[in-house]
Protein backbone atom coordinates (compact mmCIF):
# COMPACT_ATOMS: atom_id res chain seq x y z
CA UNK A 1 0.00 0.00 0.00
CA UNK A 2 1.33 3.43 -0.96
CA UNK A 3 0.51 6.33 1.32
CA UNK A 4 -0.19 9.76 -0.09
CA UNK A 5 2.49 12.44 0.49
CA UNK A 6 0.11 14.33 2.82
CA UNK A 7 -0.51 11.22 4.94
CA UNK A 8 3.22 10.51 5.23
CA UNK A 9 4.04 14.11 6.20
CA UNK A 10 1.21 14.15 8.77
CA UNK A 11 2.44 10.91 10.31
CA UNK A 12 6.02 12.17 10.51
CA UNK A 13 4.89 15.39 12.18
CA UNK A 14 2.85 13.65 14.87
CA UNK A 15 5.62 11.17 15.60
CA UNK A 16 8.12 14.03 16.01
CA UNK A 17 5.74 16.12 18.13
CA UNK A 18 4.69 13.29 20.43
CA UNK A 19 8.31 12.25 20.95
CA UNK A 20 9.11 15.80 22.09
CA UNK A 21 5.98 15.93 24.22
CA UNK A 22 6.42 12.54 25.90
CA UNK A 23 10.17 12.74 26.51
CA UNK A 24 10.38 16.38 27.67
CA UNK A 25 7.09 17.80 28.95
CA UNK A 26 6.24 16.83 32.54
CA UNK A 27 9.21 14.49 32.96
CA UNK A 28 11.94 14.73 35.58
CA UNK A 29 14.22 16.23 32.93
CA UNK A 30 11.71 19.02 32.41
CA UNK A 31 11.25 19.70 36.12
CA UNK A 32 15.00 19.59 36.78
CA UNK A 33 15.74 22.22 34.11
CA UNK A 34 13.22 24.95 34.95
CA UNK A 35 15.70 27.78 34.34
CA UNK A 36 16.49 26.55 30.82
CA UNK A 37 12.81 26.32 29.86
CA UNK A 38 12.10 29.70 31.49
CA UNK A 39 14.70 31.19 29.17
CA UNK A 40 13.50 29.29 26.09
CA UNK A 41 9.85 30.27 26.62
CA UNK A 42 10.71 33.92 27.20
CA UNK A 43 13.08 34.01 24.17
CA UNK A 44 10.68 32.18 21.85
CA UNK A 45 7.72 34.34 22.91
CA UNK A 46 9.67 37.58 22.44
CA UNK A 47 11.65 36.84 19.27
CA UNK A 48 9.44 34.43 17.32
CA UNK A 49 5.85 35.00 18.48
CA UNK A 50 6.27 38.70 19.41
CA UNK A 51 4.23 38.23 22.58
CA UNK A 52 5.03 38.82 26.23
CA UNK A 53 4.87 36.03 28.80
CA UNK A 54 5.21 36.91 32.47
CA UNK A 55 7.43 35.05 34.94
CA UNK A 56 6.48 31.54 36.01
CA UNK A 57 3.69 32.01 38.61
CA UNK A 58 4.02 28.59 40.24
CA UNK A 59 6.97 26.66 41.60
CA UNK A 60 5.55 23.54 39.91
CA UNK A 61 4.45 24.86 36.52
CA UNK A 62 3.68 27.65 34.08
CA UNK A 63 0.57 29.68 33.45
CA UNK A 64 -1.77 28.69 30.61
CA UNK A 65 -0.11 31.21 28.27
CA UNK A 66 3.33 29.92 29.28
CA UNK A 67 2.39 26.34 28.41
CA UNK A 68 0.88 27.49 25.09
CA UNK A 69 4.22 29.09 24.18
CA UNK A 70 6.08 25.92 25.28
CA UNK A 71 3.94 23.65 23.12
CA UNK A 72 4.12 26.10 20.22
CA UNK A 73 7.90 25.72 20.57
CA UNK A 74 7.44 21.93 20.37
CA UNK A 75 5.26 22.33 17.25
CA UNK A 76 7.94 24.48 15.60
CA UNK A 77 10.64 21.93 16.46
CA UNK A 78 8.42 19.11 15.15
CA UNK A 79 7.93 20.97 11.84
CA UNK A 80 11.71 21.26 11.45
CA UNK A 81 12.20 17.55 12.27
CA UNK A 82 9.40 16.62 9.82
CA UNK A 83 11.02 18.68 7.07
CA UNK A 84 14.40 17.01 7.49
CA UNK A 85 12.80 13.55 7.82
CA UNK A 86 10.71 14.07 4.67
CA UNK A 87 13.79 14.98 2.66
CA UNK A 88 15.90 12.07 3.92
CA UNK A 89 13.10 9.45 3.71
CA UNK A 90 11.22 10.71 0.63
CA UNK A 91 11.33 7.35 -1.21
CA UNK A 92 9.44 5.38 1.46
CA UNK A 93 6.02 4.19 0.27
CA UNK A 94 4.32 3.84 3.67
CA UNK A 95 4.82 3.52 7.42
CA UNK A 96 2.42 0.64 8.06
CA UNK A 97 4.73 -1.29 10.38
CA UNK A 98 6.03 1.88 12.04
CA UNK A 99 2.42 2.96 12.60
CA UNK A 100 1.81 -0.20 14.64
CA UNK A 101 4.76 0.63 16.88
CA UNK A 102 3.55 4.22 17.10
CA UNK A 103 0.18 3.02 18.44
CA UNK A 104 1.99 0.87 21.01
CA UNK A 105 4.04 3.92 22.08
CA UNK A 106 0.88 6.01 22.50
CA UNK A 107 -0.74 3.23 24.53
CA UNK A 108 2.18 2.86 26.90
CA UNK A 109 2.57 6.60 27.35
CA UNK A 110 -1.11 6.79 28.35
CA UNK A 111 -0.71 3.70 30.57
CA UNK A 112 2.11 5.38 32.49
CA UNK A 113 0.22 8.66 32.91
CA UNK A 114 -3.05 7.00 33.96
CA UNK A 115 -1.19 4.90 36.53
CA UNK A 116 0.39 8.05 37.94
CA UNK A 117 -3.02 9.77 38.06
CA UNK A 118 -4.58 6.71 39.71
CA UNK A 119 -1.90 5.93 42.29
CA UNK A 120 -1.62 9.56 43.45
CA UNK A 121 -5.30 9.38 44.33
CA UNK A 122 -5.35 5.84 45.72
CA UNK A 123 -2.58 6.74 48.18
CA UNK A 124 -4.01 10.26 48.83
CA UNK A 125 -0.81 11.93 47.65
CA UNK A 126 -2.40 14.44 45.30
CA UNK A 127 -5.31 15.20 47.63
CA UNK A 128 -4.28 14.61 51.24
CA UNK A 129 -5.59 15.85 54.56
CA UNK A 130 -7.19 19.28 54.77
CA UNK A 131 -5.04 21.45 57.01
CA UNK A 132 -6.51 23.78 59.66
CA UNK A 133 -5.09 26.83 57.85
CA UNK A 134 -7.16 25.87 54.78
CA UNK A 135 -10.29 25.35 56.89
CA UNK A 136 -9.78 28.70 58.57
CA UNK A 137 -9.35 30.55 55.29
CA UNK A 138 -12.49 32.42 54.13
CA UNK A 139 -14.13 30.73 51.14
CA UNK A 140 -13.84 33.92 49.11
CA UNK A 141 -10.07 33.99 49.60
CA UNK A 142 -9.55 30.57 48.04
CA UNK A 143 -8.25 30.38 44.49
CA UNK A 144 -10.38 28.29 42.09
CA UNK A 145 -7.65 25.62 42.20
CA UNK A 146 -7.56 25.78 46.01
CA UNK A 147 -11.33 25.24 46.08
CA UNK A 148 -10.98 22.03 44.03
CA UNK A 149 -8.14 20.80 46.26
CA UNK A 150 -10.23 21.31 49.41
CA UNK A 151 -13.24 19.62 47.79
CA UNK A 152 -11.22 16.59 46.69
CA UNK A 153 -9.28 16.38 49.96
CA UNK A 154 -12.53 16.41 51.94
CA UNK A 155 -14.11 13.47 50.09
CA UNK A 156 -11.87 10.41 50.41
CA UNK A 157 -14.56 8.29 48.76
CA UNK A 158 -14.73 10.42 45.61
CA UNK A 159 -10.92 10.61 45.44
CA UNK A 160 -10.72 6.80 45.63
CA UNK A 161 -13.48 6.45 43.03
CA UNK A 162 -11.59 8.76 40.63
CA UNK A 163 -8.28 6.97 41.24
CA UNK A 164 -9.79 3.52 40.64
CA UNK A 165 -11.28 4.62 37.31
CA UNK A 166 -7.96 6.14 36.22
CA UNK A 167 -6.07 3.00 37.22
CA UNK A 168 -8.60 0.78 35.43
CA UNK A 169 -8.19 2.87 32.29
CA UNK A 170 -4.44 2.25 32.38
CA UNK A 171 -4.88 -1.49 33.02
CA UNK A 172 -7.33 -1.87 30.11
CA UNK A 173 -4.82 -0.16 27.80
CA UNK A 174 -2.20 -2.80 28.62
CA UNK A 175 -3.79 -5.36 26.29
CA UNK A 176 -4.70 -5.02 22.63
CA UNK A 177 -8.03 -6.84 23.13
CA UNK A 178 -9.13 -4.21 25.68
CA UNK A 179 -7.34 -1.27 24.04
CA UNK A 180 -10.55 0.38 22.85
CA UNK A 181 -12.25 -0.12 26.22
CA UNK A 182 -9.20 1.45 27.87
CA UNK A 183 -9.25 4.36 25.41
CA UNK A 184 -12.96 4.97 26.05
CA UNK A 185 -12.41 4.87 29.82
CA UNK A 186 -9.37 7.16 29.53
CA UNK A 187 -11.30 9.65 27.37
CA UNK A 188 -14.22 9.74 29.82
CA UNK A 189 -11.97 10.17 32.86
CA UNK A 190 -9.71 12.76 31.21
CA UNK A 191 -12.65 14.78 29.87
CA UNK A 192 -13.67 15.36 33.49
CA UNK A 193 -10.07 16.25 34.41
CA UNK A 194 -9.77 18.66 31.46
CA UNK A 195 -13.05 20.35 32.42
CA UNK A 196 -11.87 20.82 36.01
CA UNK A 197 -8.51 22.17 34.85
CA UNK A 198 -10.05 24.75 32.50
CA UNK A 199 -13.04 25.83 34.56
CA UNK A 200 -11.11 26.00 37.85
CA UNK A 201 -7.89 27.46 36.37
CA UNK A 202 -5.63 24.51 37.27
CA UNK A 203 -2.21 24.80 35.66
CA UNK A 204 -2.02 21.54 33.67
CA UNK A 205 -4.75 22.37 31.14
CA UNK A 206 -2.67 21.75 28.02
CA UNK A 207 -1.06 18.54 29.29
CA UNK A 208 -4.37 16.94 30.31
CA UNK A 209 -5.88 18.00 26.97
CA UNK A 210 -3.07 16.11 25.19
CA UNK A 211 -3.93 12.94 27.13
CA UNK A 212 -7.60 13.31 26.17
CA UNK A 213 -6.72 13.78 22.48
CA UNK A 214 -4.40 10.74 22.53
CA UNK A 215 -7.28 8.67 23.96
CA UNK A 216 -9.51 9.92 21.11
CA UNK A 217 -6.81 8.87 18.64
CA UNK A 218 -6.89 5.30 19.96
CA UNK A 219 -10.71 5.32 19.83
CA UNK A 220 -10.57 6.50 16.20
CA UNK A 221 -8.79 3.27 15.24
CA UNK A 222 -12.05 1.44 16.00
CA UNK A 223 -14.39 4.29 15.02
CA UNK A 224 -16.25 2.38 12.28
CA UNK A 225 -16.92 -0.68 14.46
CA UNK A 226 -18.07 1.55 17.35
CA UNK A 227 -20.34 3.55 15.01
CA UNK A 228 -21.92 0.37 13.67
CA UNK A 229 -22.50 -1.08 17.13
CA UNK A 230 -23.50 2.00 19.15
CA UNK A 231 -25.28 4.15 16.56
CA UNK A 232 -26.44 1.99 13.64
CA UNK A 233 -27.19 -1.03 15.85
CA UNK A 234 -25.40 -3.30 13.39
CA UNK A 235 -23.35 -6.39 14.05
CA UNK A 236 -19.59 -5.91 13.88
CA UNK A 237 -16.84 -8.33 13.02
CA UNK A 238 -14.28 -9.15 15.70
CA UNK A 239 -10.95 -7.43 15.28
CA UNK A 240 -8.14 -9.81 14.48
CA UNK A 241 -4.85 -8.95 16.18
CA UNK A 242 -1.81 -10.21 14.34
CA UNK A 243 1.20 -11.32 16.40
CA UNK A 244 3.67 -8.50 16.93
CA UNK A 245 6.61 -10.61 15.70
CA UNK A 246 6.85 -13.26 12.99
CA UNK A 247 8.54 -15.85 15.20
CA UNK A 248 6.69 -17.54 18.08
CA UNK A 249 9.76 -17.45 20.32
CA UNK A 250 9.95 -13.68 20.03
CA UNK A 251 6.28 -13.32 20.92
CA UNK A 252 6.79 -15.54 23.99
CA UNK A 253 9.70 -13.34 25.06
CA UNK A 254 7.57 -10.27 24.41
CA UNK A 255 4.78 -11.62 26.66
CA UNK A 256 7.30 -12.42 29.41
CA UNK A 257 8.88 -8.96 29.21
CA UNK A 258 5.45 -7.35 29.17
CA UNK A 259 4.40 -9.22 32.31
CA UNK A 260 7.60 -8.19 34.08
CA UNK A 261 7.12 -4.55 33.02
CA UNK A 262 3.52 -4.54 34.29
CA UNK A 263 4.54 -6.05 37.63
CA UNK A 264 7.49 -3.65 37.93
CA UNK A 265 5.30 -0.60 37.17
CA UNK A 266 2.65 -1.57 39.73
CA UNK A 267 5.27 -2.40 42.36
CA UNK A 268 7.26 0.80 41.69
CA UNK A 269 4.27 3.12 41.82
CA UNK A 270 2.85 1.38 44.90
CA UNK A 271 6.11 1.62 46.87
CA UNK A 272 7.03 5.15 45.73
CA UNK A 273 3.57 6.58 46.46
CA UNK A 274 3.37 4.78 49.82
CA UNK A 275 6.78 6.20 50.82
CA UNK A 276 5.76 9.68 49.69
CA UNK A 277 2.49 9.40 51.60
CA UNK A 278 4.35 8.37 54.76
CA UNK A 279 6.71 11.35 54.39
CA UNK A 280 3.73 13.69 54.10
CA UNK A 281 2.08 12.22 57.20
CA UNK A 282 5.33 12.50 59.17
CA UNK A 283 5.80 16.07 57.99
CA UNK A 284 2.36 17.17 59.14
CA UNK A 285 2.41 15.09 62.36
CA UNK A 286 5.62 16.70 63.66
CA UNK A 287 3.90 20.03 64.25
CA UNK A 288 5.84 21.63 67.13
CA UNK A 289 4.17 25.02 67.53
CA UNK A 290 3.03 25.06 63.90
CA UNK A 291 -0.66 25.51 63.35
CA UNK A 292 -3.43 28.11 63.35
CA UNK A 293 -4.14 30.05 66.55
CA UNK A 294 -6.75 32.45 67.83
CA UNK A 295 -5.37 35.28 69.97
CA UNK A 296 -7.07 35.22 73.38
CA UNK A 297 -4.67 37.67 75.05
CA UNK A 298 -2.83 40.62 73.49
CA UNK A 299 -0.97 43.32 75.37
CA UNK A 300 0.93 46.10 73.59
CA UNK A 301 3.21 48.19 75.83
CA UNK A 302 2.80 51.41 73.84
CA UNK A 303 -1.00 51.24 73.53
CA UNK A 304 -2.91 49.26 76.19
CA UNK A 305 -6.26 49.87 74.42
CA UNK A 306 -7.52 47.54 71.68
CA UNK A 307 -6.66 48.79 68.18
CA UNK A 308 -7.30 47.53 64.66
CA UNK A 309 -3.62 46.64 64.42
CA UNK A 310 -3.89 44.13 67.27
CA UNK A 311 -3.52 40.48 66.37
CA UNK A 312 -6.63 38.41 65.80
CA UNK A 313 -5.24 35.15 64.43
CA UNK A 314 -1.79 33.70 63.82
CA UNK A 315 -0.88 30.87 61.44
CA UNK A 316 2.59 29.33 61.67
CA UNK A 317 2.90 27.34 58.46
CA UNK A 318 4.79 24.19 57.53
CA UNK A 319 6.78 25.98 54.82
CA UNK A 320 8.54 28.25 57.37
CA UNK A 321 6.06 31.02 56.80
CA UNK A 322 3.68 32.81 59.15
CA UNK A 323 0.59 34.95 58.64
CA UNK A 324 -0.69 37.40 61.25
CA UNK A 325 -4.27 38.56 60.77
CA UNK A 326 -5.19 41.83 62.50
CA UNK A 327 -8.62 43.06 63.57
CA UNK A 328 -8.58 45.32 60.51
CA UNK A 329 -8.42 42.09 58.43
CA UNK A 330 -4.97 43.12 57.22
CA UNK A 331 -2.69 40.12 56.80
CA UNK A 332 1.02 40.38 57.59
CA UNK A 333 3.29 37.84 55.89
CA UNK A 334 6.45 36.67 57.67
CA UNK A 335 9.12 34.08 57.40
CA UNK A 336 9.44 32.17 60.65
CA UNK A 337 12.16 30.23 62.43
CA UNK A 338 11.67 28.27 65.65
CA UNK A 339 14.72 27.03 67.56
CA UNK A 340 14.93 23.31 68.21
CA UNK A 341 14.20 23.72 71.94
CA UNK A 342 11.05 25.80 71.26
CA UNK A 343 12.39 28.79 73.19
CA UNK A 344 12.29 31.52 70.55
CA UNK A 345 10.31 32.48 67.45
CA UNK A 346 12.09 34.64 64.89
CA UNK A 347 9.74 36.57 62.55
CA UNK A 348 11.21 37.96 59.32
CA UNK A 349 9.12 40.62 57.59
CA UNK A 350 8.85 39.75 53.88
CA UNK A 351 8.38 43.40 52.89
CA UNK A 352 11.06 45.37 54.72
CA UNK A 353 13.16 42.28 55.70
CA UNK A 354 13.14 43.40 59.32
CA UNK A 355 13.61 40.75 62.00
CA UNK A 356 11.81 40.41 65.33
CA UNK A 357 12.53 37.79 67.99
CA UNK A 358 9.93 36.72 70.56
CA UNK A 359 10.47 34.34 73.46
CA UNK A 360 8.10 31.40 73.92
CA UNK A 361 6.99 31.90 77.53
CA UNK A 362 4.46 29.06 77.62
CA UNK A 363 3.87 25.91 75.57
CA UNK A 364 1.20 23.77 77.22
CA UNK A 365 -1.09 21.56 75.13
CA UNK A 366 -2.89 23.91 72.73
CA UNK A 367 -1.69 27.10 74.41
CA UNK A 368 1.35 29.16 73.44
CA UNK A 369 2.61 32.33 75.09
CA UNK A 370 4.90 34.83 73.30
CA UNK A 371 6.74 37.86 74.61
CA UNK A 372 9.23 40.17 72.94
CA UNK A 373 9.93 42.93 70.47
CA UNK A 374 7.72 43.36 67.44
CA UNK A 375 7.90 46.41 65.16
CA UNK A 376 9.66 48.59 67.73
CA UNK A 377 7.12 47.70 70.38
CA UNK A 378 6.93 45.16 73.22
CA UNK A 379 4.16 42.56 73.02
CA UNK A 380 2.72 39.84 75.23
CA UNK A 381 0.55 37.42 73.29
CA UNK A 382 -1.52 34.40 74.32
CA UNK A 383 -2.44 31.94 71.57
CA UNK A 384 -4.89 29.03 71.49
CA UNK A 385 -4.46 26.42 68.74
CA UNK A 386 -7.46 25.85 66.49
CA UNK A 387 -8.46 22.20 65.99
CA UNK A 388 -10.22 20.52 63.07
CA UNK A 389 -13.00 19.70 65.51
CA UNK A 390 -13.78 23.44 65.63
CA UNK A 391 -15.13 23.32 62.05
CA UNK A 392 -18.45 21.93 60.90
CA UNK A 393 -16.91 20.45 57.72
CA UNK A 394 -14.49 18.18 59.61
CA UNK A 395 -16.24 17.71 62.93
Query: What are the tens digits of pLDDT across the range 157-190?
Result: 999 999 999 999 999 999 988 999 999 999 999 9
Q: Which residues pair with 58 in a beta bridge?
A: 61
Domain 291-394 has CATH 3.40.1390.10: no
pLDDT, residue 62, reads 64
Taking the C-alpha atoms of residue 134 and residue 364, their distance in angstroms, rounded to an integer, is: 24
Helix (H, G, I), strand (E, B) or coil at 175: coil
pLDDT, residue 246, reads 77
Q: Which residue has the higher pLDDT, 134 or 318?
A: 134
Q: How far, CA to CA in Å, does 208 sit from each of 114, 134, 150, 258, 259?
A: 11, 26, 20, 26, 28
**Mean pLDDT of all residues belonging to the chain:** 85
Helix (H) or strand (E) holding 150, with range, is: helix 144-154
Query: What are the tens digits of pLDDT across the range 303-325?
Result: 877 788 889 999 888 777 888 99
pLDDT, residue 188, reads 96
Average confidence (pLDDT) over 191-196: 95
Domain with CATH 2.40.128.280 in the chain: 291-394
pLDDT, residue 34, reads 62
pLDDT(192) > 90: yes
pLDDT, residue 219, reads 96
pLDDT(77) > 60: yes
pLDDT, residue 302, reads 82
194: confidence class by pLDDT, cuts 50, 70, 90: very high
Q: Which residue has the higher pLDDT, 121 or 394?
A: 121
pLDDT(375) > 90: no
Taking the C-alpha atoms of residue 339 and residue 43, their distance in angstroms, rounded to an integer, is: 44
Among the residue ranges 51-65, 314-328, 348-362, the one predicted with the least confidence is 51-65
Q: Which residue has the higher pLDDT, 286 or 366?
A: 366
Hey, how many other C-beta atoms are within 10 angstroms of the C-beta on 361? 14
Inter-residue contact 316 to 336 (CB < 8 Å): yes
Helix (H, G, I), strand (E, B) or coil at 379: strand
287: confidence class by pLDDT, cuts 50, 70, 90: low
Average confidence (pLDDT) over 227-232: 90
pLDDT, residue 210, reads 92
Taking the C-alpha atoms of residue 129 and residue 199, their distance in angstroms, rounded to an integer, is: 24
Taking the C-alpha atoms of residue 174 and residue 269, their distance in angstroms, rounded to an integer, is: 16
Inter-residue contact 177 to 241 (CB < 8 Å): yes
Through-space distance between the first and last CA atoms of the chain, rounded to whole angstroms: 67
Distant-in-sequence, close-in-space partners of 219: CB < 8 Å, separation ≥ 6: 180, 183, 184, 187, 226
pLDDT, residue 58, reads 53
285: confidence class by pLDDT, cuts 50, 70, 90: low
Amino acid sequence: MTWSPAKKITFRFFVAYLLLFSTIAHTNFFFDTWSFWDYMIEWFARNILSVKVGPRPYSYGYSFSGYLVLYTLFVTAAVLITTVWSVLDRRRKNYERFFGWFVIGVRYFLINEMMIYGFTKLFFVQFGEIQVAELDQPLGDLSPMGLVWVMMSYSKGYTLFSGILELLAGLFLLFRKTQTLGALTTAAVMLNVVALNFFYDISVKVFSSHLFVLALFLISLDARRLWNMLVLNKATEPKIHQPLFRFKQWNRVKNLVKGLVIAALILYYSISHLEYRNRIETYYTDTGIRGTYTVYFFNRKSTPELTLDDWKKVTIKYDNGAEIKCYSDMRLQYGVEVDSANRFVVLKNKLDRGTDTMAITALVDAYVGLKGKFRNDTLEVGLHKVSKDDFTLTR
